[in-house]
């Protein structure tokens, strides 16, 4: 009989609190990865300017941004405001990343500003999501 209880517990939906904690951890990961965005963009431009090769950490950063977006999409759905805001941040990243090192400095700084603005909008949407009630049952 004890094994029946264990089996029932294994399929029991996660509580609202557990889902909120999982979401909080995912959003913290996203905030951390996006937080270094301006640094990574400037490092990329500097390396290009000096004709050097990107180090592994800088080269891997766009992949980390992409993977986190996929995790958010899986967790929240493609139409969720948090996901759409994250996609906007990623678009600003792609735009900024396409600027060459020899682009005008003001143009690069404007690209960083657009990235930071989109990141702030994502963070506001993420905070609102965390502040909103989470139902006890998962919606499917």
Task: Specify if 4 maps to a domain.
Answer: no
Task: Specify if 136 maps to a domain.
Answer: no
Percent of the chain predicted with pLDDT > 70: 84
65 touches 94 (CB < 8 A): no
pTM for this entry: 0.82
More reliable by pLDDT, 133 or 2: 133
For 68-83, give one letter per residue: b (16+ CB within 10 A) or e. bbeebbeebeeeeebb
Task: Specify if 5 maps to a domain.
Answer: no
pLDDT value at position 79? Answer: 97
Domain count, the chain: 1
The mean pLDDT of the chain is 86
How far is 47 from 54, CA to CA, in rounded Å?
A: 6
Task: Specify if 14 maps to a domain.
Answer: no
User: How far, CA to CA in Å, does 94 sit from each of 69, 91, 102, 109, 125?
Assistant: 14, 5, 17, 14, 21
Domain that holds residue 123: 38-131
Q: Does residue 8 register a pLDDT over 50? A: no
pLDDT value at position 87? Answer: 97
Least confident of 1-10, 29-38, 77-86: 1-10
Q: Does residue 56 register a pLDDT over 50? A: yes
How far is 85 from 45, CA to CA, in rounded Å?
A: 25
Q: Does residue 77 register a pLDDT over 80? A: yes
């Amino acid at each position: 009989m004890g094994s029946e209880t264990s089996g029932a517990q294994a399929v029991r939906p996660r509580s609202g609190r557990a889902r909120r904690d999982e979401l909080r951890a995912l959003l913290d990961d996203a905030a951390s990865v996006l937080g270094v965005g301006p640094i990574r963009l400037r490092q990329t431009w500097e390396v290009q300017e000096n004709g050097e090769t990107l180090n592994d950490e800088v080269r891997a950063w766009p992949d980390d941004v992409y993977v986190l977006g996929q995790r958010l999409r899986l967790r929240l759905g493609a139409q969720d405001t948090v996901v759409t805001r994250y996609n906007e941040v990623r678009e600003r990243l792609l735009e900024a990343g396409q600027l060459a090192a020899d682009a005008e400095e003001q143009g690069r700084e404007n690209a960083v500003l657009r990235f930071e603005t989109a990141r702030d909008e994502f963070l506001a949407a993420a905070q609102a999501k965390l502040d909103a009630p989470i139902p006890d049952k998962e919606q499917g």
